[in-house]
Amino acid sequence: MKFEFPPHANLDLLENYIFENPHESEQTTALNLWKFIFRLRSHQLALIKEYHPLDEMRCPIHFCIGQEAVPAVLSEVLLDEDFLFSNHRSHGYFLSKGGSADKLYLELFGKKEGANGGRAGSQEISCPQKNFFSGAILTGTTSIAVGVAHSMKLQGTKNISVSTCGDGATDEGAFWEALNFSAVNNLPILFIVENNNFATFKPYNERFKKFNIAEKAEAFGVSSKILFGNDPIQLHREICKSVSSLRNGGGPELIETVTYRMNSHVGPESDEVNQYRTSDDLNLWGKLCPLKRFQDLLVSESILSREFVSAYSEIVNQEIMDSFKVAREGAWPVLSEIMQYRNQTDYSLNEVRNSHLNKVVNLDSIPGPY
C-alpha cells in the first residue's frame, strides 16, 4: 500500500482497503489477535460507559478505540524482557505487555493496589514488572526507550526496546534526535508512530510541510515503512519481520501506521464542539474498524465462529465486572505512609485530609479535571 501526501487524504486507497487474509499457519495468531482487540475494545467501551455515572475514575483517560491493532500485535510478538513505552493513550499497551485488567482499573480508581499505587493514573501508568512504561509528555518515553536499547546492545542481549507514540510526537525535536542517535549507534529499537492525523485537534497537514513520517525517518538513516494501521494480520507480518531483524542486529526501524481515533482526545464525552473533523471521516474509519472488519473476515473464513464470539464475550464481560468490583472495593492509599516510606520528614498534612485516622477523603472537596 503506497501512501502519499497527508496519509489521511488518501480516501480512495483507504475506502477500498482489503484486510489481509490469514494463511493457514497464521490462524492461531489471527484468533489471538482478534481476542485481544475484542477484549481491549470491550474494556474501553465499559470504561467510557461507566466514567460519568460513577465519577470514581478521577483522572484524565485517553481512550484508544480504533487504535487496537498495534497493541494486539505487540502482545503476540514481544517478550517479557523486551521494553515497551507509550504515551498517554496507554491502556492498549499496558494490557499488551501483560498488565492485568484488575491493576488497570484499580489504578484508574486511584486505589492502593493499583498498578502504581494510585500515583500515576491512566496517562502515566506503568507495569514495571513487565517492563512497560508510559508518560504524557511527548517524546519523553521515546528518548528513554533509546537508552534502554543502548543498554540492550551493550549487554549483548537479543531483547529489543519498542517506543510507541503518535504523529504529534514528531512535532518535537527530541524525536529526530532519537532517530539519529539510534541509527548512528545501530540500536535495537523499534519506533512505532501511530499517525491518527491529529495532535489533539490539529490535523497533520497543518503541522507539517513534508507528509510522510517514514520517509523523513529514512532520511535520518532509520529503515522505515508506512502501513495501514488497522489490519492486524498485515501489521503482524510486518512487525514480526522488523522485530526479527532487530533481534539480529539489523539496526533501528520505524513503522508509521495510518489509523484513526474514534473516541475524543480525552475523556468519554464527545469533542465535536471543537469541530475538528467531520462525520464523513468518522463514517469512513468506522468501516475500517480493526475489530468489526477483522471479525467479519475471520468469521467468513471460518476461523472464528459466532458461538466462539458469544462465549468469549461472556468471559470478557465477566472480567470487566470483576475488575470494576475489585476497583470499587479496593482500599485507598494513605499519603502519610507514602511520605514516610519516601523519607519526607518535613511534609505537613492538610488538616482536612486526616490520613492518620484513616478517614475517607471527602471527594466533593477535590476539584474535577481542568
**Would you count residue 146 as binding another protein (CB under 8 A)?**
yes
Q: Which stretch binds another protein (CB under 8 A): 148-156, 199-207, 215-223, 234-242?
A: 148-156
Q: Are 205 and 9 in contact (CB under 8 A)?
A: yes
Provide the grid cell at 298. 475471520
Please state the separation of Cα 43 from the chain's center in Å.
13
Task: Report how far residue 366's alpha carbon sits from residue 210's, in angstroms, rounded to the nearest whole number.
Answer: 45
**Would you count residue 128 as binding another protein (CB under 8 A)?**
yes
Closer residue to another protein, CB minimum distance, 46 or 179: 179
| Cβ atoms < 10 Å from Cβ of 200 | 12
Residues 267-326 that bind another protein (CB under 8 A): none
x-marked contacts with another protein along 87-126 as a string, rule CB under 8 A: ---------------------------xxxx-xx---x-x
Closer residue to another protein, CB minimum distance, 186 or 205: 186
Closer residue to another protein, CB minimum distance, 163 or 264: 163
Task: Report how far residue 46's alpha carbon sits from residue 61's, in angstroms, rounded to the nearest whole number.
Answer: 13
Closer residue to another protein, CB minimum distance, 51 or 175: 175
Residues 334-353 that bind another protein (CB under 8 A): 341-342, 344
Closer residue to another protein, CB minimum distance, 155 or 310: 155
Q: Smallest gap, in angstroms, from Cβ of residue 116 to another protein?
A: 4
**Would you count residue 135 as binding another protein (CB under 8 A)?**
yes
- Would you call 28 helix, strand, or coil by DSSP? helix
Q: Smallest gap, in angstroms, from Cβ of residue 104 to another protein?
A: 13
Paired strand residues for 86? 134
Q: Are 96 and 36 in contact (CB under 8 A)?
A: yes
Task: Report how far residue 206's alpha carbon sits from residue 167's, in angstroms, rounded to the nearest whole number.
Answer: 12
Binds another protein by CB under 8 A, chosen from 180, 186, 223, 295:
180
Task: Report how far residue 115's alpha carbon sits from residue 126's, in angstroms, rounded to the nearest whole number.
Answer: 7
The CA-to-CA distance between both ends of the chain, in Å, stands at 41
- Would you call 194 helix, strand, or coil by DSSP? strand
Binding region for another protein (CB under 8 A) = 83, 114-117, 119-120, 124, 126, 128-129, 131, 133, 135, 137, 139-140, 143-152, 154-155, 161, 173-174, 177-178, 180-181, 184, 341-342, 344
